[in-house]
Amino acid sequence: MEDVLIIGGKRIANRLFIGTGKFSSYSIMRQVLEGARAEVATVALRRVDAGSKTDNIMDHIPAGCIVMPNTSGARNADEAVRIARLAKASGAGSWVKIEVIQDNRYLLPDNIETLKATEILAKEGFTVLPYMNPDLSVARRLVDAGAAAVMPLGSPIGSNMGLRTRELVSIMVREIKLPVIVDAGLGKPSDACQCMELGCAAVLVNTALAIAEDPVNMAKAFALAVSAGRLAYLSGIPAEAPGEANASSPLTGFLRKDS
């Protein structure tokens, strides 16, 4: 059976979403997207200028890759909504990652303002993927507001600290009927694999790729880890059995006292 993720009517086979910030050049960014065979890429609106006669990031997004503008820089719902509308008007499509951050030190998302923006944009026909602190009650409200998926953070943006919110994300996976996509903080391929083993629908990674010594091969490694974690989840990961031991091979019948 074909295993695809469907969001906003789009069929997505590659569950590694990639952010396009921090790369040393657009050329490297494109090689990363192509190397990982990415099907979804996030882009900050300030880097999109369809009318520019100079180098434009949109010219370096591979054909067929879904562009998901994010509302980076928005400090409240009104600003996020305005950025989303501008992105759509510029030709970037109707997908949008809602990112509302007032906290300048830890860059944690504002769930209340994110919910407000989601309600407005979903009613306008946007495919809304809100970035959020993992909170089950807020996630449920985002579902009711029309979100296409929910994107809880794994740890603070750019921290490379991995899935520090594991238990909260796991609860959301079990309780929320929308795709759960871990966004922010994943620092190594095993972090992405762990998310997928929990049943997450996808992960979004940027910093860990952009600052790697070899971004292209790191992207390939993340893509493999995502695929491995997804396959493990679908295969049924055995439950842990703390304090017990169960031999995989018989321990008796092969050795005799007189041997």
Which 3 state secondary structure label does DSSP give 236? coil
How far apart are alpha carbons 110 and 42 in whole angstroms? Answer: 19
The catalytically annotated residue of 10, 22, 53, 97 is: 97
Give the contacts of 20 (CB within 8 A, at least 6 positions apart): 29, 33, 41, 42, 43, 44, 47, 57, 61, 206
Residue found under tokens 């921090």: 22
How far is CA 246 from each of CA 23, 164, 249, rounded to the nearest angstrom?
Answer: 48, 31, 9
Amino acid at 166: R
Q: 131 near 156, Cβ under 8 Å? A: no
Asked about 97 being catalytic, the answer comes back as yes
Q: 145 near 168, Cβ under 8 Å? A: no
DSSP assigned state of 214: S
Q: Torsion angle, CA of 167/169/172/177, rounded to 10 degrees?
A: -140
How far apart are alpha carbons 186 and 25 in whole angstroms? Answer: 22
Give the contacts of 13 (CB within 8 A, at least 6 positions apart): 3, 4, 5, 39
Q: Which residues are catalytic?
A: 97
